[in-house]
Amino acid sequence: DVAKVFAPRTTFFGRGKSRPVRAVDGVSFDIRAGETLGVVGESGCGKSTVTRCILGIHEVSSGTIRYRDRDGRMIDLTALSEHERLAYCTDLRIVFQDPQASLNPRLPVIDIVGEVLKVNHLLPRSEIEGRVRELLQRVGLRPEYARRYPHAFSGGERQRVGIARALATNPRLVILDEAVSALDVSVRAQTLNLLKDLQQEFGLTYLFVSHDLSVIEYICDRVVVMYVGQIVEIANAADLFARPMHPYTEALLSALPVPDPAFKRRGRRIHLPGEVADPANRPAGCSFHPRCRFATERCKAETPALRSVAGRTVACHHAEDLALQGVNMGSSPE
């Protein structure tokens, strides 16, 4: 594993900072070397909170974030001082959703991409431009773009600059937080293919956060499904899409647009009543029970633990008994 996120009970992130406190409960998962692990859920489910916690942007009040360093040692990032953490900031990098907002408009690309190299003294100044030009080429941009400013680029090109910036330090784990969500459909596909190529080339591990299941299906090996600050299901992507084990996953899948009429949807769209709950004020028992058509008295009283059911990982009291509908995607039209 490259990293282990372990939060056994209610964990508050953002404590002591200006951001509002957000609770995440029992969010524990491993990130395996070389994989793309998806984290999916509606906005406000805690996905971004978890990534910010891995990066040390948010504090963690309980639980650990363990990272396997280049020498194979497991380091608890939450136990490090800010100064000690700096040693790992080049290993763990992030690409944000909005390339417009995340690139400083007043800096040329050479400074945007090269800043992390300069600040961390990874390269002598004289070598930074060469490295930036090389990185631009790797992400499919012309090396001479190093002297341009962000406004001179299209949205897709700007996101390539953001990817080059993340790769500048030869990271091991790259967090992609809604990294293609702001892009047009055709540009999105190109960017996803670029990310796949870069992963192969550099042996990267991705944590891919998105609310968009069609993107998750395309790029992820495994998927963590979150609902109001908790994990409800973890599965291989193919298994999850073919056969969800949690009613919330089933509802998310049922809302997917069918990309091609040759891919027939197996079932009907499931409409979820009510609103997503507030993570800081979750319903008792299973947080999903007010919206779940299978809810029983037990669901209202008892919180389901994340557990193994038939080789799968799911947090639902009745997972054994439910035969939920999946979707047919991927490469085998019926």
Q: Which residues bind ligand SF4 (CB under 6 A)?
A: 246-247, 286, 288-289, 292, 294-295, 299, 304, 316-318
Query: Which of the listed partners (ligand SF4, Mg ion, none) does 289 bind, with a CB threshold of 5 to 8 Å by partner kind?
Result: ligand SF4
Query: Would you say 265 or 318 has its CB closer to ligand SF4?
Result: 318
Rounded Cα gap, residues 194 and 163, in angstroms: 10
Query: Would you say 136 or 228 has its CB closer to ligand SF4?
Result: 228
Rounded Cα gap, residues 22 and 153, in angstroms: 36
Query: Would you say 75 or 299 has its CB closer to ligand SF4?
Result: 299
Query: Which of the listed partners (Mg ion, ligand SF4, none) does 238 bind, with a CB threshold of 5 to 8 Å by partner kind?
Result: none
Q: Is 322 in contact with 306 (CB distance < 8 Å)?
A: no
Query: Would you say 32 or 318 has its CB closer to ligand SF4?
Result: 318
Long-range pairs for 120-129: beta carbons < 8 A, 24 or more residues apart: 120/86, 120/89, 120/90, 120/169, 122/90, 122/169
Q: Which amino acid, residue 13? A: F
CB of 228 to Mg ion, least distance (A): 14
Site size toward Mg ion, by CB under 5 A = 1
Query: Which of the listed partners (ligand SF4, Mg ion, none) does 228 bind, with a CB threshold of 5 to 8 Å by partner kind?
Result: none
Q: Is 98 in contact with 150 (CB distance < 8 Å)?
A: no
Q: In this structure, what token pair is assigned to residue 25?
A: 């409960």
Query: Which of the listed partners (ligand SF4, Mg ion, none) does 263 bind, with a CB threshold of 5 to 8 Å by partner kind?
Result: none
The terminus-to-terminus CA distance of the chain in angstroms comes to 36
CB of 140 to ligand SF4, least distance (A): 43
Query: Which of the listed partners (Mg ion, ligand SF4, none) does 48 bind, with a CB threshold of 5 to 8 Å by partner kind?
Result: Mg ion
Query: Would you say 7 or 292 has its CB closer to ligand SF4?
Result: 292
Q: Is 148 in contact with 108 (CB distance < 8 Å)?
A: yes
CB of 84 to Mg ion, least distance (A): 27
Rounded Cα gap, residues 13 and 24, in angstroms: 8
Query: Which of the listed partners (ligand SF4, Mg ion, none) does 286 bind, with a CB threshold of 5 to 8 Å by partner kind?
Result: ligand SF4
Site map 40..59 versus Mg ion, x via CB under 5 A: --------x-----------
Interaction of residue 102 with Mg ion, rule CB under 5 A: no
Which residue is listed with tokens 């962000």?
Answer: 150
Query: Would you say 149 or 294 has its CB closer to ligand SF4?
Result: 294
CB of 226 to ligand SF4, least distance (A): 14
Within a 10 A sphere around the Cβ of 32, how many other Cβ atoms? Answer: 14
Q: How far is CA 114 from CA 56, 162, 163, 194, 244, in A?
A: 22, 11, 12, 21, 43
CB of 277 to ligand SF4, least distance (A): 12
Nearest to 63 by CA among 8, 127, 102: 8
Can you say whether the dihedral through the CA atoms of 82, 83, 84, 89 is positive or negative?
positive
Query: Would you say 158 or 289 has its CB closer to ligand SF4?
Result: 289
Residue 142 exposed, middle or buried by CB count within 10 Å (0-12, 13-18, 19+): exposed
CB of 211 to Mg ion, least distance (A): 8
CB of 47 to Mg ion, least distance (A): 6
Query: Would you say 263 or 294 has its CB closer to ligand SF4?
Result: 294
Binding site for Mg ion (CB under 5 A): 48
